[in-house]
Structure 1
């Protein structure tokens, strides 16, 4: 099973960590791929190298969780892409990426 979490607020950004961990720990669900897509400026700061939860996100990236950020949202507010945690992928648009992932069978979870 493949799942994408859609994160569009800073509150959801922090909650997404425990939600992803809970999903990965659930032995009743066979998970192949987890992606977390950020598409709002205030949430993106969570993905910066010096954020309060950066170590938690790095751990999830090490567990092969894909973190993606919308290139449009990264411009508003101006977030320096070079400050993002290593392994975070910038995608052309958040909605486009969600559409692609859902067309590939990803379950959609909005936080």
Structure 2
């Protein structure tokens, strides 16, 4: 099974993290991608949440962030944590992943 958790609102991170944890402990093998765009990329300023996201990555979750959103919030790619994968346009990445069989979920 393949799932994309899409987040574009900063305040939704706790819900997305809980959904990811629930998925990881479901007993099923799931390829899980969290794709952040819009205001959600501002999570990069929250060190506690970034520690949690790193733990999710270590448990096999992939974190992708939209370059355009990062630029609009003045984040420089070289300053991002190494576990964050940058994609050029978040919406295109969402569509691409869906063509690859990922199910779209927006908590």
TM-score (norm 1): 0.87
Query: What's the offset of the Cα at 1:52?
Result: 2.3
Q: Which structure 2 segments of 5+ residues have no match?
A: none
Q: 1:32, 1:19 → 2: CA distance? A: 12
Aligned structure 1 segments of 4 or more residues deviating by more than 2 angstroms: 80-85
Q: 1:58, 1:109 → 2: CA distance? A: 21
Aligned residue among 28, 32, 35 for 1:34:
32
Partner of 2:72: 76
* Structure 1 residues 14 and 82, CA gap change in structure 2 (3 angstroms): farther
Aligned length: 107
Is 2:100 the counterpart of 1:99? no
Tell me the C-alpha RMSD between the 2 structures. Answer: 1.5
CA displacement 1:9-39 (0-9 Å, x = unmatched): 0111232111100111112xx2331000001
In the TM superposition, 1:1-111 aligns within 5 A as 1-27=1-27, 30-40=28-38, 42-48=39-45, 51-111=47-107
